[in-house]
């Protein structure tokens, strides 16, 4: 089947080229979205003007309805952010270790073999979701069997398909249970590290531990799932791309960065202006939000030559899919390891990917419509 074309490739192009900003209503609040690559990077670095010290308001739309604690370290500014980040950093650097690389290699090798043995695979629920969940057990040093619990939560821990917030909060109940367990029987896992961590001469509070845990499960879940699904869909519709990578495995690193640029799963993230601020001629009043629109910056034609074209050997590629500045994504090494390993296994084992059905996951707002991964993607993997 042909690739779906329900949305324009870059819904921000006209506004980016004209004014560099877009004012878009979100649930009763108008947010000024910063669209240009250079403007966005400057704003991301300027935490005094564009602050992350805004509990529940960094995600767009806000998440007051679905969580009760500040996410850490993302909803803080330096120097507090720097100190909080140092607590989690060792775990999120583990994907660079030989042991972790070997575990992810074995995991994806096995999952690709399982997919090849089936007549067809629904990528989102049967492949990407289990892959993300099982890989996370290795990142957090938890038993892989724990992934079964996380898989049952679905694609997003806060939202159902279509974007509506879920009722109840299974994630918070789970985090409390794991932190209780770690306090009674500490081990070498992420939750045990949190309850034993030292911060400013004291232990973390339960609320702080919950803030770290909440972001760990919410921040890197649907993002990785949509990235993996988008990569498989693209290789299915563009078999020459898989052949291109197979000809020279050294191309995989550049290709993975291009996939992250083009298939950016997070449209934007919020910052709050502590004082009245001018953004490209638009006044943002004190206490109001701006949106750092990563998806637009990744298609800025003044930075990326022919940005709508997927070039698997694009270099340089200064995309901002993992953020920029102080808040550069902690999970970036993990996401990179997953996608690079997946591409390598597909090159080694898969002759072609046949797309049988595709239903896009579409983000619909008043001023823009954007495809973000898939709600459903059925494929058949054909072995070499």
Mean pLDDT by 10 residues, the chain (384 residues): 65 97 94 98 98 96 89 98 97 96 98 98 98 98 96 84 72 95 97 97 98 94 95 98 95 98 96 98 97 98 97 98 96 98 98 97 94 96 98
Query: Is residue 371 within 8 Å of 7, Cβ to Cβ?
Result: yes
- Tell me the whole-structure pTM to 2 decimals: 0.96
pLDDT value of residue 268: 97
User: What pLDDT sits at residue 158?
Assistant: 80
289 forms bridges with which residues in the sheet? 272
> How much is the pLDDT for 157?
82
E-strand ranges in the chain read 21-26, 29-34, 121-122, 198-199, 202-203, 269-272, 277-279, 282-284, 289-292, 350-364, 369-383
**Residue 292 corresponds to which tokens in the numbers above?**
């750092």
CA 58, CA 271: separation in Å to the nearest integer? Answer: 6
Whole-number pLDDT of residue 112:
98
**In 3-state terms, what secondary structure has residue 321?**
coil
Strand order in the sheet with 369-383: 121-122, 369-383, 350-364
Domain extents for the chain? Answer: 13-383
Angle among Cα 301, 358, 150 to the nearest 5 degrees reads 95
- Of the CA atoms within 13 Å of residue 251, those in its CB half-sphere come to 14
Q: Which two tokens stand for residue 310?
A: 């997927």
The residue to which tokens 């583990």 are assigned = 94
The whole-number pLDDT of residue 6 equals 43
Q: pLDDT, tens digit, for every residue of 295-321?
A: 999 999 999 999 999 999 999 999 999
* Predicted local distance difference test score (pLDDT) of residue 252: 98
125-147 pLDDT tens trace: 999 999 999 999 999 999 999 99
Tell me the CATH number for domain 13-383: 1.10.630.10
Cβ neighbors of 364 (< 8 A, separation 6 or more) are none
Residues 6+ apart with CB under 8 A from 164: none
């Amino acid at each position: 089947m042909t690739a779906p074309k329900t949305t324009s490739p870059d819904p921000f192009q006209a506004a980016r080229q004209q004014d560099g900003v877009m004012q878009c209503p979100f649930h009763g609040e108008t947010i000024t979205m910063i669209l240009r690559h250079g403007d966005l990077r400057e704003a991301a670095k300027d935490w005094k003007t564009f602050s992350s010290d805004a509990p529940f308001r960094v995600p767009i739309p806000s998440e007051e309805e679905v969580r009760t604690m500040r996410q850490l370290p993302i909803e803080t500014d330096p120097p507090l952010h720097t100190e909080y980040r140092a607590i989690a950093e060792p775990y999120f650097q583990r994907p660079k270790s030989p042991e972790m690389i070997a575990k992810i290699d074995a995991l994806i090798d096995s999952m690709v073999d399982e997919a090849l043995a089936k007549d067809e695979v629904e990528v989102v629920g049967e492949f990407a979701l289990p892959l993300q969940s099982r890989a996370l057990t290795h990142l957090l040093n938890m038993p892989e069997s724990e992934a079964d619990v996380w898989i049952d939560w679905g694609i997003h821990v806060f939202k159902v398909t279509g974007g509506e917030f879920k009722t109840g909060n299974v994630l918070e109940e789970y985090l409390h249970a794991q932190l209780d367990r770690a306090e009674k029987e500490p081990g070498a896992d992420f939750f045990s590290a949190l309850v034993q961590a030292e911060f400013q001469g004291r232990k973390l509070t339960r609320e702080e531990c919950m803030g770290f845990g909440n972001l760990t499960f919410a921040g890197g879940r649907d993002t990785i799932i949509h990235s993996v699904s988008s990569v498989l869909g693209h290789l299915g519709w563009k078999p020459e791309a898989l052949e291109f990578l197979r000809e020279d495995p050294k191309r995989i690193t550049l290709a993975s960065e291009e996939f992250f640029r083009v298939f950016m799963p997070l449209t934007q993230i919020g910052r709050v202006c502590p004082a009245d601020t001018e953004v490209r001629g638009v006044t943002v009043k004190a206490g109001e939000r701006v949106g750092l629109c990563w998806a637009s910056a990744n298609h800025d034609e003044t930075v990326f030559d022919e940005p709508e074209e997927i070039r698997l050997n694009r270099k340089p590629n200064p995309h901002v899919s993992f953020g920029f500045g102080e808040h550069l994504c902690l999970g970036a090494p993990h996401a990179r390891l997953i996608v690079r390993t997946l591409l390598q296994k597909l090159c080694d084992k898969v002759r072609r990917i046949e797309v049988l059905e595709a239903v896009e996951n579409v983000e619909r707002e008043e001023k823009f419509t954007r495809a973000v991964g898939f709600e459903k993607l059925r494929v058949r993997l054909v072995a070499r």
